[in-house]
């Protein structure tokens, strides 16, 4: 097994793009940021003055629901696949070192 290189992830993502990553095409087609005002209004997160862990971004959580629906996934399977698949991470805007919502959060 060879040692990981600096550009390995980018090369793998480019290969996925070349193979026709459907989630990448979906991201180009749908402006998920357009949903932010409605999501912010519906969720009405507190300002955080009472403490606690900060909530995940509402657009991220909405995109997770899209992934779940498109793939008919349980919360547990969704958590696993977000951690496992580069295509899911790219669609969600997550890097390898970013925190992923657990199944209970989903």
Mean pLDDT is lowest, of 45-49, 56-60, 77-81, for 45-49
On the question of pLDDT at 50 being above 80, the answer is: no
Decide if 87 contacts 24 (C-beta within 8 A): yes
Distance separating the N- and C-terminal Cα atoms of the chain: 35
On the question of pLDDT at 64 being above 80, the answer is: yes
Look at residues 20, 15, 101 and name the one whose alpha carbon lies nearest to residue 56. Answer: 101
How far is 97 from 54, CA to CA, in rounded Å?
18
How far is 87 from 69, CA to CA, in rounded Å?
16
User: Treating both helix axes as pointing N-terminal to C-terminal, what angle do 58-71 and 75-84 enclose, rounded to 10 degrees?
Assistant: 100
Q: What pLDDT sits at residue 11? A: 87
């Amino acid at each position: 097994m060879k040692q990981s290189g600096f550009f390995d992830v980018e090369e793998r993502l480019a290969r996925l793009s070349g193979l026709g990553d459907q989630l990448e095409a979906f991201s180009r087609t749908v402006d998920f940021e357009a949903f932010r005002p409605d999501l912010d209004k519906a969720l009405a997160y507190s300002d955080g003055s009472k403490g606690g862990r900060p909530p995940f971004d509402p657009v991220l959580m909405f995109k997770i629901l899209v992934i779940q629906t498109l793939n008919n996934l349980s919360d547990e399977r969704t958590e696993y696949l977000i951690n496992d698949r580069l295509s899911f991470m790219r669609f969600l805007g997550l890097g390898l070192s970013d925190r992923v919502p657990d199944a209970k959060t989903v």
